[in-house]
Amino acid sequence: MKVRQDQVLGALPPEWPEDLLPFIQAQVERSGTKIVVLDDDPTGTQTVYDVPVLTEWSPGALASVLAEPGVVVYILTNSRSVSLPDAQAMNREIATNLKAASLATGRDFVVVSRSDSTLRGHYPGEVMALIEALGGTFDGTLIVPFFFEGGRLTIADTHYVAEGDWLVPAAETEYARDATFGYSNSNLRCWVSEKHGGLVGPQEVLSIPLAGLRSGGPQAAASILQQVHGGQVCVVNAATYRDVEVCVAGLLRAEAAGKRFVYRTAASFVRVRAGLAPRSLLTAAELATSHHRGGLIVAGSYIHKSTLQIEAALCLPGVIGVEVSVENLLDDTRRREEIRRTIDLAAESLAAGKEALLYTSRRLVTGRDVGASNNAGASKIAGAGQVGQAVSTALAAIVEGLSVTPAWVIAKGGITSSDVATQGLKVKRAQVLGQALPGVPIWRTGPESRWPGLIYVVFPGNVGGPQAIATMIRILRGEG
């Protein structure tokens, strides 16, 4: 049942009074350990800045980035878009290559398995594969889905999604009805048990409570983490960044005493674990381009929030909508023609100095719909994940087929933004500049990409109000 946000937050004890970032920064610098974030879609860069993102993970590429002086690196796996066996294989390969790179460079590392703040993803499969491939004994896994910028809070072990003045238990939101990653529990202890198929009971899952973080500080967090053993799962409550700071300060103490953890978290944890201070949002002046061509927006996310944002963006002057028919994309006889049609329309708008907004038709098409089609040319696609991947790949193909260079690119939706980056833009490495809106990261593409130095906006499907895409367009136009 949803609860009023002000009432819940007002009833909490006061935050721990000490700023712990200086302590965390000193510990991170002293250790020399690289924080390697395996990101299951590109939206996990939504809290950091001045860090690299790799879309490849060969031993050589990983050794090169481990040898660099920075504290953190992201590896874009996009594993949320593939099957569990494929995601596990990917995690094993990365872990194996990381061990080789660490041995070659002499630099140690810790791994963050970054996933969705609304609890969607291949858990616990990915984490289990990582632990297996990394070897050694891990005392446990930390679950930290707190994401301040998106209003994802964990209080009394229940994970909430902020909607206006209300906090809605995560299992009561549309995210919990995800066709691939759905769930029925908002209490994280019960959610862990559910995801483990009941093999782990809720009573076996440890918890770091808010009361302990706020009254006992880092020592209270460290004391609980010292109890984690034998691969246990421990969930972390957090309603503010200070709560996460306290947890991380305690975590570093526990690790210094010999404890070893894998982290399964949302984006906010990464910034704190890396010791990065908050940074102001990027401005229109910082993102200004000299292009006389229009920008490109590619929207593949189907959730209601994305639809409202698309509708608002289409009301802006100079934004030309190009609807991409999902039914045509899923039909082998019409797919190529649909891609060619949308490429031509988008190129025409860009060349005229107008923004081209490519968006998928809003009726959700499932694998069942495709299977029920009477069209003999319909692709043999089963399952929502395969439908989504087929559509996302087509959107990337549209970007790849453009002969006109856009002034900038916005990609809406996690899988969409990954495929556009890796397939459409051929990005192997990018630099995260920061965020222009809360939770919306801005990349600059690397020299090897199709359009080097391009401003690329990774816009999560579940972030922002109705005007968010329109606001982002104004910023990139230099109007905001």
pLDDT digits (tens, 9 = 90+) for 232-277: 999 999 999 999 999 999 999 999 999 999 999 999 999 999 999 9
Confidence of residue 363 (pLDDT cuts 50, 70, 90): low
User: Residue 247: CA atoms inside 13 Å, Cβ hemisphere, count?
Assistant: 28
**CB atoms closer than 10 angstroms to residue 390:** 18
pLDDT at residue number 415: 86
pLDDT at residue number 461: 85
322 vs 324: CA distance, rounded Å: 6
Q: 296-477 in CATH: which number?
A: 3.40.980.20
Lowest mean pLDDT among 218-227, 304-313, 365-374, 414-423: 365-374
- The average pLDDT across 347-370 equals 79
pLDDT digits (tens, 9 = 90+) for 78-128: 999 899 999 999 999 999 999 999 999 999 999 999 999 999 999 999 999
- Smallest CA-to-CA distance from 401 within 453, 456, 358, 445 is with 358
pLDDT for residue 136 is more than 90: no
Q: Are 247 and 212 in contact (CB under 8 A)?
A: no
- Concatenated DSSP letters of 274-319: TTPPP-PPPPTTTT-----SPPEEEE---SHHHHHHHHHHHTSTTE
pLDDT at residue number 480: 65
Q: How many helices (H) and strands (E) does the chain have?
A: 16, 19
Higher pLDDT, 415 or 395: 395
324 vs 191: CA distance, rounded Å: 36
255: tokens are: 């690790």
Higher pLDDT, 67 or 385: 67
pLDDT for residue 380 is more than 70: no
412 vs 364: CA distance, rounded Å: 16
- The average pLDDT across 171-182 equals 94
pLDDT at residue number 390: 85
pLDDT at residue number 396: 95
Q: 3-273 in CATH: which number?
A: 3.40.50.10840
- The average pLDDT across 330-334 equals 93
By DSSP bridging, strand 296-299 and strand 409-412 are parallel
Q: Are 126 and 181 in contact (CB under 8 A)?
A: no
Q: Report the 3 state secondary structure along 83-145.
A: CHHHHHHHHHHHHHHHHHHHHHHCCCEEEEEECCCCCCCCCCHHHHHHHHHHCCCCCEEEEEC
Q: Hunting for tokens 């957090």 — which residue is that? A: 238
What mean pLDDT is reported for the chain?
Answer: 93
Residues of each domain in the chain carrying CATH 3.40.50.10840: 3-273
pLDDT at residue number 362: 63
Confidence of residue 374 (pLDDT cuts 50, 70, 90): very low
Confidence of residue 379 (pLDDT cuts 50, 70, 90): very low
Residues of each domain in the chain carrying CATH 3.40.980.20: 296-477
Apex 321 CA angle, 319 and 322, nearest 5:
140
Confidence of residue 199 (pLDDT cuts 50, 70, 90): very high
pLDDT for residue 378 is more than 80: no
**What phi-psi label fits residue 258: left (phi over 0), alpha (psi between -120 and 50 degrees) or beta?**
left
Higher pLDDT, 369 or 163: 163
- The average pLDDT across 431-457 equals 96
pLDDT digits (tens, 9 = 90+) for 21-58: 999 999 999 999 999 999 998 889 999 999 999 999 99
Q: Hunting for tokens 């639809």 — which residue is that? A: 307
* C-alpha to C-alpha distances, 387 to 12, 73, 241, 358, 368, nearest whole angstrom: 43, 31, 37, 18, 10
pLDDT for residue 427 is more than 90: yes
Q: Are 81 and 307 in contact (CB under 8 A)?
A: no
35 forms beta bridges with 72, 110
Sign of CA dihedral 189, 191, 196, 197: positive
